[in-house]
Chain A
Amino acid sequence: MSLILVLEQILNGLQFGVMLFLMAAGLTLVFGVMGLINLAHGALYMVGAFAAAIVASWTGSFVLALAASLMAAATAGALMEILVIRKLYDRDHLDQVLATFALILVFSEGTRWVFGSFPLFLDVPPYLSGPVTLPGGIEYPLYRLAIIAIGLVIALGLFWLISRTRIGVQIRAGEADREMIAALGVDISRLYTLVFALGAALAGLAGALVGAIQSVQVGMGEPVLILAFVVIVIGGIGSIKGALVGALLVGLTDRLGSIFLPQIFALVMEPSSATTAGASVASMLIYILMALILLLRPSGLYGRSA
């Protein structure tokens, strides 16, 4: 096992984690401020990827495609909030789970109805394609480095937004005491729509960024959604910092596990069964991680205790 391979996997884990953070940030904000579980967050990720693919094929510009993903997902998110989600804030989690599960069905099949059953094309722009050589001789795709950079910049931006701006004060106040900020004269329904659209935009951006190196297809949001939930639960629901730490933890665990577990198993088993057994445990690994963390800290790493 060479050091280079380990470092490369760590970069992969970081990249995966940063992507999960973009998904998880919106989920955790929406939960923290409005107390809402949104299973349809993955649908917004898909909306972003589809919007980016369409605009990229029209204009050929990746930057415009990313802008389109932000706009489309924010719009879809705002509409979703105004038409449906708004009615769910004072309901229990059960109603929220069912309503947003229904939204997944509507969005997935609606997208398939409009765009057909075949995956769309979205590619890495030429100026970001291909590998670069990093110090130490690691060859690593430039695009993935760009994703890490974009993700970290957005994370910093979010921390700034929440700690330094007027909106951020309102968001924090909303997390602490919902009735209070309404009493203070903040237009609460506008704030909610804004927070929801912000979360949606981040999910859409994640979808577009990932869509360029994966498959833009119906249902692409669901596996990511479940992982994003794992992330916010590990980090503590409502905490942006927790979402970042949780995302990196999940990203690194998953990437390193899928490579090293089969090799660790090979030390004690014959190679062919080690490959499959290792792969099996690796696919369960992040859920095991989540269960362990919740057993030690039932409200996640940075969550306020229930």
Chain B
Amino acid sequence: MKSISTLALATAVSSLALTAAADTKIGMITTLSGGGAGLGVDVRDGFMLALEQAGRDDVEVVIEDDQRKPESAVQIADRMIQSEKVDIMTGIIWSNLAMAVVPAATAQGVFYLSPNAGPSALAGARCHPNYFNVAWQNDNLHEAAGAYANDAALKNSYILAPNYPAGKDALTGYKRMYSGELAGETYTKLGQTDYAAEIAQIRASGADSVYFFLPGGMGISFLKQYADSGVDLPVVGPAFSFDQGILQAVGGAALGIKNTSQWNKDLDNTANTAFVAAFQQKYERLPSLYASQGYDTANLILSALDKADVSDADAFRDALREADFASVRGDFAFGQNQHPVQNIYVREVIQEGDVFTNKIIATGLENHADAYAADCKM
């Protein structure tokens, strides 16, 4: 059994970029296999790029694949905290996995920095001094889309999302800001791949626009079928369906569609320009939203480590709160519930040569915080 635990350690060490004698140990649990692995791969690559650039040898990262299963994520977290004694955790992509892991991790004194998921409970009533969200609260991008719909004088939206909690949050977020009428509201099956029925309803509903939240493969299917249906109402969506990783699979069907995001590769600041170039050079592909979030998360940790040792939890927490790092988003600050206060932009899908990508056309919401901060007693 002894050999087993040494082997576990050996395999963990083999997955590091940085070497031993580490003072700070970071555990990354993310999705690296099965459907949805693309998101985890991007977060990991962005994160590791930042660490590599910093060239520090006192930070060790242990990376594990959660297979997108909450049970696996919980067990990996237990192991990282109990056996490997990590100080900081990060990496989780999906809200349901975050809800399973984060409360227990923070309760055991570990810091958790979310590079992607932002469930409302963790922003509100269940907020925690050791929990920081470096991406967004789940509703944010949808709220920006609702605000954009008002600006674009859209008055009768048809909205749809999968029938699961994040889907309901998405439509709630959109409706929170949107002031027009609803031509219809549909919850589709999670993992659904054919949207002919919904598109027929959209056509029959007399809507003047469509808002949809269908992450991953669901969004690809919807967009291709929508483009082929001849319905030509304007479509708005959050960045998740228009991300660099999947845009090539959607192809021309996405051209011209407006989507909301807190980041884009054409954001004009030095940190971002350097990030996009370095990422392309190292991984030979354009960075995605997720990669930018992973990169920011790593840089935030590094900035705090420069000011305080992680073993001094209070000082380290204060250093994190200051968010004193060069974010690829430009201005970045934490609100009172340790969630971002940031600009959310409206992007349009364009084609550059053979590559489909986004460009920013407007600012949807400025210095936007989330709606749950008031419930957070910290």
Contact = CB atoms under 8 A, between A and B. Distances in A.
Contacts, number: 122
A108 B33 CA distance: 10
Contact of B220 (A214, A262, A275): A214
- Size range of the chain A interface in the assembly: 35 or more
A235 to B, nearest CB: 21
B200 A119 contact: no
B41 interface: yes
A282 interface: yes
B79 to A, nearest CB: 23
A214 B228 contact: no
Given A12-B200, A112-B33, A131-B229, A283 B193 contact: no
Interface in B161-220: 163, 168, 185-191, 193-194, 196-198, 200-201, 203-204, 216-218, 220
Nearest to A143: B228
B353 interface: no
A275 B249 contact: no
Interface residues of B, number: 42
Nearest to B193: A214
A95 interface: no
Contacts of A124: 224, 228
A211 to B, nearest CB: 10
B230 interface: yes
A54 interface: no
Interface of A: 2, 4-5, 8-9, 12, 15-16, 108-109, 112, 117-121, 123-124, 129-131, 139, 141, 143-144, 210, 212-220, 223, 255, 258-259, 262, 272, 275-276, 279-280, 282-283
Given A123-B253, A215-B220, A217-B220, 8 more contacts: A8-B200, A121-B248, A214-B194, A219-B35, A255-B196, A258-B188, A259-B200, A279-B186
25 contacts: A4-B204, A5-B201, A15-B196, A117-B37, A117-B38, A118-B38, A119-B246, A119-B249, A123-B253, A124-B228, A139-B230, A141-B229, A144-B196, A214-B194, A215-B193, A215-B217, A215-B249, A218-B34, A219-B35, A258-B189, A258-B198, A259-B197, A259-B200, A275-B186, A279-B189
